[in-house]
Amino acid sequence: MDLMDMFLALFVLVCDVFYTEGWILQDPNAFTRTIRMPHVRAQKADALLCHAVKLNKRTAYIVKYEPHASRTRAHHLMVYGCKVPGDRRPYWSCGETSDRSERSVCLDGDRQVVFAWALDAPSMNLPDGVGFRVGGDTGIDYIVIQLHYVQRFPGYLTDDSGVTLHMTYTTQQKQAGFYVLADTGYIPPQMQEFHMESACDYDSYSIFPIGYRTHSHNLGLVTSGYRIRDGQWTEIGRMSPQLPQTFYNITTPHLSIRKGDILAARCTMNSMQREEYTMMGATNTDEMCNFYILYYTYRKENLKIQYCFRDAQHFKWADYLETVPDSASSLAGIPHSDEIRDSFRPRLPRMRGRRHHATM
């Protein structure tokens, strides 16, 4: 073996090690952007605070999300993209509604979901060749992080929770985007299973789901999402929102969604420990019913987040769809299902006052 052959053999061996160990050669256009709250103080429980940073004008792709937050301090962390943020101050009080008031996330009310975190969810990598496009002509000139704080901060406590975005200027072959199914309305008290259901015709460009995320507060038992094609239901994902609210791998790999399909979701709520109606809303005593679909697409044009909203009191699957999967409200196959089920069991009421009874 001559010197050139030895060199080529060594080169192949090194490349094989890089491949099998999951290493990748350094992308010269890769960089990180860490965005943290500027040591804010939550003045009340359920405070919603926002902080914005301006992006470089050059088009970039987010390929990994690394949250810096704790469930002991924040109910959720949302990362939004805006043309112009709702306020120019270092941080401001921002509501959950997409309006144009001084409490909005984005000044024009048009916010794009970039990432969502809750319940100590871990970091998330997008697949190779997939990136969430920002900057340039996307209409996302600012990143706004929103923290929903658990309690009022005592004394001089401040918070710098946030996220590190792993980014690159290298053009990615596929764009990442979000489709969100959700419900409005309310949940009656003392319900073992209350179904909040949504479904919409899909009439846009073809997408390929790569992850899903469920989001509810305290009453959410399990949330499931489906693609319906020619009457056939295919599960996208099913998870309890009481577990870390990260983006999980979809149930059915290599799934596609195209024009003519139907997307559907159900949140199964348990309100046995509530004595009054629970409204959909932003605070932790309110509820939410959200099913996020993270997808990629080969579409090169700018993407906009797509929504499907239904009113839980007036929309039911059975009124529009002929068949419903038996597993839509099931915890079967979900991690820690026994513990989740136990957490919803009714508790004995506390005794009020002390009463002495004679015993024999």
Instruction: Give the containing element (helix H, strand E) for 235.
Output: strand 232-239
Catalytic residue (one of 124, 269, 280, 288): 288
Q: How far apart are CA 103 and CA 282, in angstroms?
A: 14
Calpha distance 65→247 (Å, rounded)? 11
Catalytic residue check, 254: no
Catalytic residue at 75?
A: yes
Q: Are 187 and 278 in contact (CB under 8 A)?
A: yes
What is the spatial distance between Cα 308 and Cα 293, in angstroms, rounded to a whole number?
A: 11
Look at residues 67, 170, 203, 83 and name the one whose alpha carbon lies nearest to residue 122.
67
| SS3 label, residue 66 | strand
Q: 175 catalytic, yes or no?
A: no
26 is annotated as an active-site residue: no
Task: For the chain, give the longest Cα–Cα distance.
Answer: 101
Cα–Cα distance, 96 to 276 (Å, whole number): 23
Judge whether 98 and 104 are in contact, CB under 8 Å: yes
Q: Among residues 51, 112, 124, 146, which one is catalytic?
A: 146
Catalytic annotation present for 217: yes
Catalytic residue among 51, 166, 195, 217: 217
Which is catalytic among the residues 51, 166, 195, 215? 215
Out of 76, 78, 242, 280, the active site residue is: 76
Residue positions annotated with a catalytic role? 75-76, 146, 148, 215, 217, 288
